[in-house]
Amino acid sequence: MKILIVVFILGCGAFNTLLGQEDDYRSMRKQLSTLSCGKVDSVSVYETKLKLESMDTTKIVKDLDYYYRDLAWCFYRNFMLHYDTTYLKLDVLNYTKSLYHKPQNTQALWGVLFGYYKLGDCLNGKKYLDLYLKYADAKEVNKEQIERLKKNCE
């Protein structure tokens, strides 16, 4: 009987360890995403997007904001490949979901404001630009790029 209890306790510990690995998105991130800021082919974008969309996000309890930023990045890359605004709208949607989990994340704020300005939604673009400027370090802010984005609203 004592052996059974010990096996049960060890089994529960091993199971909790596995669960702990599965609920932290950043620990799985390298296996799921091959995207970077550099040149990426459309197959890599498509495969990464499929992997991300097939995940059960209800099991992710840590770093879910990273998941949504990675998914947004896939949609942005699709927009750049196909110039279809549907992808840009999905990019904005997923960056917005990331902000739900980390409201002051400047990468997500930039993604949202960039998408809104590119879509010509100047009111929302301005709203997220103000938030971005509020939370971003001065050295992080690219004023020239911001001015180029604002020109979409002139």
DSSP of 60-102:
--B-HHHHHHHHHHHHHHHHHHH--HHHHHHHHHHHHHHHHH-
Query: What pTM was computed for the model?
Result: 0.80
Pairwise CA distance, residues 102 & 118, whole Å: 23
* Domain limits, the chain: 2-153
3.30.420.10, 3.40.50.300, 3.40.190.10, 1.25.40.10: CATH of 2-153 = 1.25.40.10
Q: pLDDT grade, residue 85 (50/70/90)?
A: very high
User: Position 69: which residue type?
Assistant: R
Element holding 28 (H helix, E strand): helix 25-32
Q: Which residues contact 20 (CB under 8 A, 6 or more apart)?
A: none
- In tens, the pLDDT along 20-67 reads 445 888 888 877 766 655 567 788 889 889 999 999 999 998 999 999
- In tens, the pLDDT along 87-122 reads 999 999 999 999 999 999 999 999 999 999 999 999
